[in-house]
Structure 1
Amino acid sequence: MYKISDFSEMTGLSKETLRYYAEVKLLEPAYIDPKNNYRYYDDGSFFLATLLMKLRGFGFTIQEMISVMEDESFVNLENLLLQKRNNIRKQIKELQNQIEEIEIFLQSGKDENK
């Protein structure tokens, strides 16, 4: 079992984030000492924290992460990841179109100054 400070160091998640994740039932401590309310995490918690960090890095919202964690079989995880990938590809195309429009606009200004 790991104290919250040790677990925070291990995972890179701040203590505040860990408390928030527990509050929204995203990653609850494995044990809370009833005497002092200290939170303790275990190796299973480490796996889940690593998964949450990956999902956050992929741009998942808190609500999307909760959805993944509620589906303990992770059946929908692949579908969510594929959907996220498609959304990112769409955003990239939209941004590339914006870049092209900016370049055309800049070029038109140069052409007018000639």
Structure 2
Amino acid sequence: MRKGIYLSIGEVSKLTGTHIKSLRYYDKIGVLKPAYIDPDTRYRYYDFSQLKLVDIIQFCVELGIPLRKLNELMEKDGLIHLTQLLEVSKEMAETKIRTIQDGLNFIDDLQLEIQQNDQISPYDPPNRIDFPDIYYMLEPITESTDEKEFYLKLRGLYAAVAKQGYKSGYKFGLLYRFRTNAVERYQFIDILPTTKNGAKDIIKIPAGPYIVRHIQESRIEKAKELFAEIFKTGQDVIVVETELVTGLYNAERPLYELRCSVPDLF
């Protein structure tokens, strides 16, 4: 063998910035076979032309393309279906861009909410505030549902949202529908506005005015006392309770928002 025309695995590692263990792994799964293996020492040697393939592999790794996919696009003689690989790469890159943009939108929304919530005091009187349409996915609960069960059900809600192809927001909490002779209790997560139909466990809270109170502890069970004037009408009432996110957030003692529907809204 004329070693002068080959690169050792260490040289390939230095030239490409790829860890030696990674190069050995690429050999193991068949995406980068050495050009030559010394029969005595079992050392791996590579051709200069293989450096471009190392770059392609690293490109796939950075985009999150499974290397088994690259393996599927390689022929036994080393030919690569590059057009197909680029199509897969573009799709993965666009998906990452959408994910990053969703993350930026989430940060913007949360920053705006924090700015608004930091102006709120639990000692402020109730306010009448107009809200847009809001969509919630619901899970029935009982008066005896404890914190552990609540969070187990919450995980189930997020899984259901993903399974049904919806996108969830970041708010969750309790929703009580007070009827004349009964109280329906639910926990919820909010989902992004949707035009999908047929989901029986999704409720649209219509846009309109709500009476809002900010309090220092969960008090949805006391809604009839806190919104006594509204309950005197005898009509069905929906009350929603969520934690408020603030700039100095105290996970052990968060502030809460209670939102009560105005009669004739539903």
Q: Compute the TM-score of the two structures, normalised by the length of structure 2.
A: 0.39
Counterpart mapping for 1:102-113 below 5 A? 102-113=110-121
Choose between structure 1 and 2: higher helix proportion: 1
Choose between structure 1 and 2: higher strand proportion: 2
Whole-Å Cα distance in 2 between the matches of residues 53 and 47 of structure 1?
Answer: 10
Task: Give 3-state SS (helix, strand or coil) of 1:40's partner.
Answer: strand
Identity score, percent: 25
Is 1:21 the equivalent of 2:37? no
Is 1:45 the equivalent of 2:41? no
Question: Which of 39, 56, 59 is the aligned partner of 1:54?
Answer: 59
Q: Relative to 1, partners in 2 of residues 1:108 and 1:68: Cα closer, same or farther, differing over 3 Å?
A: farther
Whole-Å Cα distance in 2 between the matches of residues 68 and 104 of structure 1?
Answer: 46
Counterpart mapping for 1:1-114 below 5 A? 1-69=6-74, 72-113=80-121
Query: How many residues are paired up?
Result: 114
Task: Point out which structure has higher relative CO (alpha carbons under 8 A, 6+ apart).
Answer: 1
Please say if residues 70 and 85 of structure 2, whose CA atoms lie closer than 8 Å, have aligned partners that are also in contact.
Answer: no
Whole-Å Cα distance in 2 between the matches of residues 29 and 77 of structure 1?
Answer: 22
Whole-Å Cα distance in 1 between the matches of residues 114 and 72 of structure 2?
Answer: 44
Any gaps of 5 or more consecutive residues in structure 1?
none
Q: Relative to 1, partners in 2 of residues 1:110 and 1:54: Cα closer, same or farther, differing over 3 Å?
A: same
Residue 68 of structure 1 and its aligned partner are, at CA, apart by: 4.2
Whole-Å Cα distance in 2 between the matches of residues 91 and 67 of structure 1?
Answer: 26
Structure number with bigger Rg: 2
Whole-Å Cα distance in 2 between the matches of residues 99 and 68 of structure 1?
Answer: 38
Q: Compute the TM-score of the two structures, normalised by the length of structure 1.
A: 0.84
Any gaps of 5 or more consecutive residues in structure 2?
1-5, 125-266
